[in-house]
Structure 1
Amino acid sequence: MTEIQNVTPAEAFAAYLKIRDRLPATAGRGRAVPGEFLDIADDFDLILFDAYGVLNVGETAIPGAAETVAALRGAGKTVAVVSNSAAYPKAHMMGRYARLGFDFASSEVVTSREALFERIKSEPPRRWGVMLNPISGLAELETLDAHVLTDASEAYDEVDGFLLIGSDGWTEHRQGLLEATLVRASRPVFVGNPDLVAPREAGLSLEPGWFAHRLADRTGIAPVFLGKPFPEIFELALAHFGGSVPPERVLMVGDTLHTDILGGAQAGFATALVTAHGSLAGLGVAESITASKIAPDFVVETI
């Protein structure tokens, strides 16, 4: 059984370019002004951080990130995390941030997992097949008729829809079973993490979005994506603050042009691209902006 391998930043960027037509349209172009992060953030009231590649790489905090968040609080700014990390329950996420030295409250962390659960509340009852490593945590799935997909081929035909939440432990064999069952019978596919990749200590891991776009190419299924760059997660983030912060006073900070920057721009936020630790690490930033036609308002090396 073939395990899924990591990809390089260049391969990941090329993959994002190929799926551009499935993402929101570009909402204008920023000027990609270079600067120091705290100077840029001073002009905004609410700072939204992506996690992987901005605050942490895998289970390792990026040096200085916790201190930057503390400095923003000290300056009277409101800070929050908007993450496509859908594989883990909120309690697990909060434990990770505490271990890494961040003091975020639960209400300050908004994930695509939450956006997914909000969306499927409006769906009719279904028996769901779930892409998720059970070790990651089945908490918050108790109210669903949800069954983790493994190597049992018959299980793929027995469900009424699919939730792609976490790709840890996913294999080529399981991906083949998923694609084959959707060819036999089309059913809804909801994607709780639209990211193609995520920065981890060993490189860029393949995330649920990678496999969702692959099955779309091979089956003709149109998955429903919940998370950056799509609007629901940003609407949830603003709702956490009572809708009191106008979009033009919000700064979205991320490492990925096609999720953080595109999504923030679509929501009407200013955007800052972080280049040192995430999906563009080692690539030409200016060339990547030109190729993607997605330009942030600001470019910083790190926060």
Structure 2
Amino acid sequence: MPVMINEATIARARYYPELLPDARVVSVSAGSEISPPILDLRRYEPKFLRLVNLAVETSANVEVRVRADADNYKINAGGLPDLKSARWELLGTALLYLNLYGVGSVSDYRVRFGVWVYEPSVAEKIMLGRRLDQEESRIASALNLAASVQKGVLPVPISYLLEREYNTVGEVARTAVLDLAANTEVTVGVVNPNPGEFLVLTGLAAAPGTVAQNVRIRIDRDRDADYIEIPTYPLSLDDPIQCWVPALREFRIKAIASQNVAGWAMRYEVRRCVMTNVLRVRFGLLDRERTPGETWDKTKGGIL
């Protein structure tokens, strides 16, 4: 079975924030939810999760059910765009649940989505009224974070953080067109950073193939074997699924299929970025004692 996003996947995330992509091909029976659920994440504190980029097939026979902490939504897929991301962004600090309910029976139904995994800044915890530990209270007091939160200038959204902190050297969309032999994993490509740089996987696109061919993309990140595994049937070459997955040493892109596939095509988009002290703190590569100046407090506080 493919490696789906679960508590073990969330535990392996470490270079925050990470946007993990996922996709499913499922059959939905009338009058019931899928079992096990597509997502049922409950044991991931102190990390926060955000469900984004949810895309499903347009079908009045399917109801999308999402729970994020106390929020509960039931959305009929008949009003959603066909395999295009609608406006979804739901924060789960203790619970993130995604599943499908069958208004009618549907086979080989495609779903794709992403989950942001990150450690909340002190500013975000203040905004949400969360209790601070002793170290967080010290940072909040030293930087007067409560006042900045009340003004509305903190916390910053993830999109702004990525633009401000990740200094991009370059980004390339690499492609591969190859034949796949049944049940034989092949390495599509390997990408390594230059000295002083690291990599970020930003997108994946692929020819979907068929349900029977069951083509899957597997990605090793540094020492994390098969960190991402995603079926291609819900994907396309025209609309990449978004990712934000950093790697310090290597990405290895692999593919496997259940049947022979001729001329299968895929694309993976990788960005090269400069390593900085802010990101070393964010990635857990620097402790407080070795971090110069106020970089530690400001990064953890949510100012940098």
**TM-score interval, smaller chain:** under 0.3
Structure that is richer in strand per residue: 2
Q: Which one has the bigger helix percentage?
A: 1
Q: Which has the higher contact order (CA 8 A, sep 6+)?
A: 1
Scaled by the length of structure 2, the TM-score of the pair is 0.27
TM-score in terms of structure 1 length? 0.27
